[in-house]
Chains A and B, each alone.
Chain A
Amino acid sequence: MLSQQVNTQAAGLEISNTNRIGAALFALLFGSFMLYATVFSHSEILHNAAHDTRHAVTAPCH
């Protein structure tokens, strides 16, 4: 059990905190931006292209 926890930490994060938080923020911002462009954009063309997805993920669409 104990060795498993140590393993978990070792395998999970032999990564510096700065890099880890940097990567997390990058993922969060990039993901949010892409989500915004796909399901929230007011552009008519983007709306039409992603129309069924916007309805399917139950984002406000119209």
Chain B
Amino acid sequence: MLTRILLAAILAGVLSGVFVTAVQALRVTPLILEAETYENSGGATDTHSHEAGTADHHDAEAWAPENGIERTLYTMLSNVLVGVSFSLILIAGVLLTKSALSFKSGLVWGLCGFIAFVLAPNFGLSPELPGMDAADLGESQIWWVMTVTATSAALMIFAFKRQILWMLAGLVLLVAPHIYGAPLPAGHDSIVPANLAAEFAIATIVTSFLFWLVLGGLLGWLVQRTVSGKSGNEAIQ
């Protein structure tokens, strides 16, 4: 049974990864490609942000997929891997809390995933386009992981605990990363036009929202089918 639940979660992740690749093609990917034209336009851009000793991220020698179908396929592959990762993390929460899943409750889990993995970290670290000034990568990643973990814990507490002390602890976990503050870029002399960055922020957040809803809904539906067997009665609400 557990193996089949995990397989259902993996399937939900694969399908939502393929789905989000199509949605990204509408707004997100074109904006990334447009930003790269500024990033690669050379000239004045050479002076931006890269101190002596910090190698430029886009090293000419390093392999990268060819633009076009190859790049799209690699993006789809990584979207599928990310979809499966998020799906496994969600199902871990479901199993740990002994929650029953359905399409509807799956949507709620998806919504919580969106809050924890997208809204909370983006409150501190704005969606980043190629060519935008960003804070130190390692520090940003640590802050991202801490924020996602603390927000997930807070949401779990709000959903499953009722005592006032727990609620207060949840509140602390929710706000602490933002009081501590995300690492900030040294300056804001981005070579990417501001309107492009604004469009990208909206595009990624809307796309991520759709992704998390589809992932949660699929996960709930597939796991419910797995658990209730082929007879498909209304065992899990």
Contacts and interface: CB of A to CB of B under 8 A. Distances in A.
Given A20-B95, A23-B6, A52 B82 contact: no
A42 B137 contact: yes
Contacts of A45: 62-63
Nearest to A22: B2
B167 to A, nearest CB: 24
B79 A53 contact: yes
Contacts of A32: 85, 89
A46 B9 CA distance: 24
Nearest to A30: B88
Given A21-B96, A27-B95, A62-B57, A55 B82 contact: no
Contacts, number: 161
B230 interface: no
A14 B117 CA distance: 31
A49 to B, nearest CB: 5
A11 B204 CA distance: 37
Contacts of A14: 1
A58 B75 contact: no
Given A50-B78, A62-B57, A8 B236 contact: yes
Chain A interface secondary structure, helix, strand, loop or mixed? helix
Contacts of B228: 11
Interface residues of B, number: 64
Given A11-B236, A34-B81, A60-B125, 15 more contacts: A20-B98, A23-B5, A40-B141, A45-B63, A48-B63, A48-B64, A53-B75, A53-B79, A55-B127, A56-B79, A56-B208, A58-B127, A61-B134, A62-B132, A62-B134
Interface of B: 1-2, 5-6, 9, 20, 24, 28-29, 32, 57, 59, 62-65, 71, 74-75, 77-79, 81-82, 84-89, 91-93, 95-96, 98-100, 117-118, 121-122, 125, 127-130, 132, 134-135, 137, 140-141, 144, 204-205, 207-208, 227-228, 234-237
21 contacts: A8-B237, A27-B9, A28-B88, A32-B85, A42-B137, A47-B57, A49-B78, A50-B78, A50-B81, A53-B79, A55-B28, A55-B32, A55-B127, A56-B79, A58-B121, A58-B128, A60-B128, A61-B137, A62-B128, A62-B130, A62-B132
